[in-house]
Amino acid sequence: MPASLDIPSATRAQDLMRRLDRVSLATSLPADGSAWPYASLVLTAVDHDLAPILLISDLAEHSKAIASTARVCLLFDGTGGLDQPLTGPRLSVLGVAAKSHETRLRQRFLARHPDAEMYADFRDFNFYRIAIERAHFVAGFGRIDAIEGAALKVDPTPWQALVEREADVVSHMNEDHAEAVGLYATRLLGLAPGEWRMTGIDAFGCDLRWRGQVARINFDSPVFDAEAARTALVELVRRARAMAH
């Protein structure tokens, strides 16, 4: 998504959240009652309503902190690779963390982070869903906005049919149209060739991954069900193949 001033801050912030697969998580340590702030790196995915999903061990300092005070802050850093990082976008999301046993959230996280399947079922690991309260978005020098939670969150009700078919669409693309997924990455996004796989699809685009690299392609317009998603994906591969001529 282009960093245009014509695009609302909330929309740009939403796109940033969907694109990144890791964040800095800040919590308040309960030790000695001093509530020291504590930040470290965690992996993330986002639900269709933009709620961040985390997988954390009970042995981690973060889990102990959340058990005491569930309020957290996530920093989505989109400045990687820039010569001047402070010109790039970053988003601080404030919310309340709660453990979740919802199968769909687990599936969405593990599709985004397949290596996490090795430890996701360990007894001391839990999934957390972050209920967004508000956010602070810095799009670059002098481009700063406070975003209320209601403006940042998304209501997925209009595309519930796609939510229910997401796993089927992703599996179909990876198993039957792996070449197309590769073309999305290499020709449309200009990324290096590799065994690219689709990890998720939502109303606004689809997510890709190869090894430790993630990428995202946005659709020209929102899609609301699997058939509309198919049409959009076909158009993307047509566009990618046309670029070879």
pLDDT on residue 3: 47
Token pair in block for residue 201? 């699809």
Tell whether the model's pLDDT for residue 6 goes beyond 80: no
Tell whether the model's pLDDT for residue 147 goes beyond 90: yes
Average of per-residue pLDDT across 52-71: 95
* Residue 167 parent element (H or E): helix 160-176
Tell whether the model's pLDDT for residue 1 goes beyond 80: no
pLDDT on residue 2: 46
Torsions phi, psi of 162, nearest 5? -75, -40
pLDDT on residue 35: 76
Angle CA 103–110–199, to nearest 5: 110
Answer yes or no: are the C-beta atoms of 57 and 50 closer than 8 Å: no
pLDDT digits (tens, 9 = 90+) for 205-241: 999 999 999 999 999 999 999 999 999 999 999 999 9
Q: For the chain, which domains are there?
A: 9-154 (2.30.110.10), 158-242 (3.20.180.10)
Q: Which residues neighbour 31 within 8 Å (Cβ) at sequence distance 6 or greater?
A: none
pLDDT digits (tens, 9 = 90+) for 93-136: 999 999 999 999 999 999 999 999 999 999 999 999 999 999 99
